Amino acid sequence: MPLLEVEDLGVEFRRRGLEPFRAVDGVSFDVDPGQTVGLVGESGCGKSVTSLAIMRLLMPRGNRVTGRVSFDGTDLLRLPIRDMRDRRGRDLAMIFQDPLSSLNPVISIGLQVTEVLQRHRGMKQSAARAEARDLLDQVGIPDPDRRLKEYPHQLSGGMRQRALIAMAVACRPRLLIADEPTTALDVTIQAQILQLLGTLVRENGTALIMITHDLGVVAGLCDEVNVLYGGRIVERANRHELFATPQHPYTHGLLASIPRLDAPAGERLHPVQGSVSDNIPWTSACAFAPRCGNEVDRCRSASPELTAAPLGHGHQLRCFNPVLPDGAGVGATGGSAPVDSAGEAL
């Protein structure tokens, strides 16, 4: 049985005088115990909102959350907020993107770690202190005794993220959500932090939702990958299949934008052209159509569903005209030639 089942999750922001905005639209995915699941997509596609909705950390006003988030059989969205507070930090924990702003600048690292232990594990001050020391040690912070007394501004970026990770794993949560935990860090530090996360979840058997815009991160860490676009999942596959046979034009775009070491010097990266602001609503079209190289007539008149992909097992796709490799039998390669039958073939 999955540890976390997200079913038809929707988040709509409502502001006075503005059209309601669906930032997350019918997102469903499962996370098994100990499994690492990626949520991938560019800025603004709804990754953070999804994770905040799961944790129920969205501001109480100005939005409406629908669907089900069942954690170990309990629907978190319908849990009294008190009970939810009991679970946050204990059963499910979260790491954020910007370690500096995510740490309280006027409170010592020590207190920021021990407060979780005292809250959820009922530890006394001294026991919590000793445990906090061990935690910092575990996440690879040298000289933990000194660091406990220091404040966030006295730590380096990587060290801060390690401290945040220590706080998140302090109570051995069964699910950890990491929202772009490495974007704010130097490249070398990024690799270290990812490695640390990988080790921690493996050793503790923690399930991990890894949120990133970087498919490189996915390649190193995730078992399952969900590609998000405009608040919907557009492609889902296990890591191996996603990289072997990506079929959504957007995923292709993301893959093409990964910097490659073997690329000739001076070659430019190929980010997906256009930006999220070009989106059209999903209601009766494919939101990606304005940016898609594979667009066909239907893309503007009907909304594609998430269905089994032409290639692979358990591979799912939301596209009328997927990009298929040469000789795959169903259609042409990505690019100009539209294949009308592709949609029906699904």
Ligand X SMILES: Nc1ncnc2c1ncn2[C@@H]1O[C@H](COP(=O)(O)OP(=O)(O)OP(=O)(O)O)[C@@H](O)[C@H]1O
Binding site for ligand X (CB under 6 A): 13, 21, 23, 41, 43-49, 213
Of the pair 232, 315, the CB lying nearest ligand X is at: 232
Rounded to the nearest whole angstrom, what is the least distance from the CB of residue 67 to another protein in the complex? Answer: 20
Which among another protein, Mg ion, ligand X, none contacts residue 46 (Cβ within 5 to 8 A by kind)? ligand X
Of the pair 104, 275, the CB lying nearest another protein is at: 104
Cα separation of the two ends of the chain? 28
Among candidate residues 42, 38, 74, 83, the one with its CA nearest the CA of residue 236: 38
Q: Is residue 90 a contact point for another protein (CB under 8 A)?
A: yes
Between CA 198 and CA 29 the distance in angstroms is 21
Task: Give, as ranges, the residues between 42 and 61 that touch Mg ion (CB under 5 A).
Answer: 48
3-state helix, strand, coil in the chain (%, to 5): 35, 20, 45
> Which amino acid, 305?
E
Q: Is residue 39 a contact point for another protein (CB under 8 A)?
A: no
Instruction: Tell which one of 38, 41, 67, 89 touches another protein (CB under 8 A).
Output: 89
Please, what's the b/e burial string for 189-228 (b: 16 or more CB within 10 A of its CB; e: otherwise)? bbebbbebbeebbeeeebbbbbbbbbbebbbebbbbbbbb
Print the binding letters for residues 296-325 with ligand SF4: x by CB under 6 A, - otherwise: x--x----x--------------xxx----
Rounded to the nearest whole angstrom, what is the least distance from the CB of residue 94 to another protein in the complex? Answer: 4
Between CA 111 and CA 149 the distance in angstroms is 8
Sheet holding 307-308, edge to edge: 92-95, 175-179, 207-212, 36-40, 224-229, 232-238, 316-317, 307-308
Rounded to the nearest whole angstrom, what is the least distance from the CB of residue 197 to another protein in the complex? Answer: 16
Structural tokens at position 226: 């969900």
Rounded to the nearest whole angstrom, what is the least distance from the CB of residue 57 to another protein in the complex? Answer: 6
Q: Is residue 71 a contact point for another protein (CB under 8 A)?
A: no
Between CA 269 and CA 44 the distance in angstroms is 21
Structural tokens at position 205: 């058997």
Task: Give, as ranges, the residues between 153 and 172 that touch ligand SF4 (CB under 6 A).
Answer: none
Q: What is the DSSP string of 64-121?
A: EEEEEEEETTEEGGGS-HHHHHHHBTTTEEEE-S-HHHHS-TTS-HHHHHHHHHHHHS
Instruction: Tell which one of 29, 71, 96, 229 touches another protein (CB under 8 A).
Output: 96
Task: Give, as ranges, the residues between 281 and 300 that touch ligand SF4 (CB under 6 A).
Answer: 286, 288-289, 292, 294-296, 299
- Residues near another protein, by CB under 8 A: 55, 57, 85-90, 93-94, 96, 98, 101-108, 111, 115-116, 119-120, 150-151, 153-154, 164, 167-168
- Residues near ligand SF4, by CB under 6 A: 249, 286, 288-289, 292, 294-296, 299, 304, 319-321
